[in-house]
Amino acid sequence: MVIMQNYVIKKEDLNKLVERALDDYDVYAPVQKKSIHVYDQISDPASMDLNYGQTMTSAKKLFNPPVENMMTFDFDKKEIKDRLEDTIPETPSLIVGLHACDINGLLFLDRVYGGEYDDLYYQKRREKTTIIGLNCLESCESGFCRSVNTHIVLEGYDLFLTPIEDERYYVNVGSPKGDRLITLAPDLFEEATEDDVDAFRKSLQKKHESLPVEFHLDNLTETLDMAWDDPIWEEIGEDCMNCGSCALVCPTCYCFDVVDEVGLDLKESTRKRKWDTCLYYDFALVAGNHNFREEPEARLKYRFYHKMRGAVHDQGIIACTGCGRCIDACPAGISFLDVLAQLQKNWASAPTIEGGN
């Protein structure tokens, strides 16, 4: 393993770095949109707003867009064309200001879109993207990252910034792509001194003290195994409208639907994929009009179980980054965190936060 040098950069100089990067990269960053924040392409560093709690949808949309052309068919020529090269932008991307939860979200998607089956649409974008992460020293409104251990990242970033005293960032370099950013603007970075390391440590301590642990991950799988018939599913089923907002904003929900759209001349067709969610009736509808999850609350329960139990089975980790977006997005005010905490209270068999049982 290569030991990377750590640096510091002034907060105001980060804008200068982004300014220089704009020549080589399509740059994406959190920007304010009405009352919320979203990741958007920027042409001016002044439009980014790194002082944000959470973006409405996750950075997933930059790697797996809501709609994507996969291939086209020409009926006359009997030709099929792969659209992979057309859909992936030629210019590499730089994303600035990704929080640890979102980086962990991408690490989860890497497993799903890699591994047994390679999803090249996702992976090509991932390869061509450089990520500047940003450490959160304080909890955001609905997030519960520390409860699910996603408040820290060990990989998945190219540079990782931690705010330290004197309006500066402590910079961890995570990859050669991060090194390249530094060589773009070596005058803006300084090697971290012992005092800087000390300041970094203080920031981490502050983070440690301010991020709460709201439920225990330890006994989650057992809890869910036992809670299949818990009345809570019916209770929240009464509030859930199956609108799918929670899944659409989720950084780890990866499901999509594949549709063929025929052109008006009926001579060509485009195969597209679109975000889909298990909250929708059509999702588990199969031939013969059979539906595996006929009832709305069955679909809601399925989402909980897939994320927090099924994913452990498939991937070895839960499919939740504690970003809290599902809580913010739910029109009915259903809280993923509250549901898990309640189940744990009802079914705990291992140590709880209170240390009981």
Partner 1 sequence: MSDNGKPKVGIFGLTGCAGCQLNILNIEDHLLDILGLVDITTWVMAKQENSDGPWDIAFVEGSVAKESEVERVKKIREKSDVLIAIGACATHGGLPAIRNMRDIEEMKETVYGEQTSHLDVIPIKPVSHYVDVDAELPGCPMDKMEFVRAVMALAMKKTPQVPNYSVCYECRVNENPCLLDEGKFCMGPVTQAGCDSLCPSYGAACEGCRGPIAQVNWGAEVKILKEMGATADQIRRKFLKYCPSTADMEDFQELTL
User: Tokens in use for 38?
Assistant: 């979203």
Q: What's the closest the beta carbon of residue 274 comes to partner 1, in angstroms?
A: 9
- The C-alpha atoms of residue 266 and residue 76 are separated, in whole angstroms, by 10
DSSP state, residue 55: B
Nearest to 170 by CA among 288, 2, 4, 338: 4
Residue 157 contacts residue 94 (beta carbons within 8 Å): no
Our finding on whether 73 is near partner 1 (CB under 8 A) is no
Pairing of β 93-98 and β 67-74: unpaired
Q: What's the closest the beta carbon of residue 282 comes to partner 1, in angstroms?
A: 5
Our finding on whether 140 is near partner 1 (CB under 8 A) is no
Our finding on whether 318 is near partner 1 (CB under 8 A) is no
- The C-alpha atoms of residue 334 and residue 107 are separated, in whole angstroms, by 26
Pick between residue 80 and residue 262 the one whose CB is nearest to partner 1: 262
Catalogue the E-assigned strands of the chain. 7-10, 26-33, 36-42, 67-74, 79-82, 93-98, 129-134, 159-164, 168-173, 189-191, 256-262, 268-275, 285-286, 290-291
Among 2, 46, 264, 287, binds partner 1 (CB under 8 A): 264
Backbone dihedral angles phi then psi of residue 8, each to the nearest 5 degrees? -130, 150
Residue 122 contacts residue 89 (beta carbons within 8 Å): no
Our finding on whether 77 is near partner 1 (CB under 8 A) is no
User: Tokens in use for 66?
Assistant: 């809501």
Our finding on whether 266 is near partner 1 (CB under 8 A) is yes
Pick between residue 218 and residue 297 the one whose CB is nearest to partner 1: 297
Q: What's the closest the beta carbon of residue 67 comes to partner 1, in angstroms?
A: 8
Our finding on whether 57 is near partner 1 (CB under 8 A) is yes
Nearest to 134 by CA among 171, 98, 105, 178: 98
Pick between residue 184 and residue 243 the one whose CB is nearest to partner 1: 243
Number of residues that bind partner 1 (CB under 8 A): 31
Among 48, 140, 249, 337, binds partner 1 (CB under 8 A): 249
Among 4, 56, 185, 353, binds partner 1 (CB under 8 A): 56
Our finding on whether 32 is near partner 1 (CB under 8 A) is no
- The C-alpha atoms of residue 72 and residue 172 are separated, in whole angstroms, by 43
Among 184, 243, 255, 353, binds partner 1 (CB under 8 A): 243
Pick between residue 35 and residue 43 the one whose CB is nearest to partner 1: 35
Our finding on whether 275 is near partner 1 (CB under 8 A) is yes
Please identify, among the stretches 132-140, 158-166, 204-212, 263-271, the one whose residues bind partner 1 according to the rule CB under 8 A.
263-271
Among 53, 92, 296, 310, binds partner 1 (CB under 8 A): 296
CA distances from 135 to 189, 206, 238 (A): 18, 11, 38
Q: What's the closest the beta carbon of residue 235 comes to partner 1, in angstroms?
A: 12
Residue 27 contacts residue 15 (beta carbons within 8 Å): no
Our finding on whether 281 is near partner 1 (CB under 8 A) is yes
Q: What's the closest the beta carbon of residue 246 comes to partner 1, in angstroms?
A: 9
- The C-alpha atoms of residue 4 and residue 191 are separated, in whole angstroms, by 11
Q: Residue holding tokens 């251990």?
A: 149
Q: Which residues bind partner 1 (CB under 8 A)?
A: 33-36, 38, 56-57, 66, 238-245, 248-249, 262, 264-266, 275, 280-282, 296, 329, 331-333
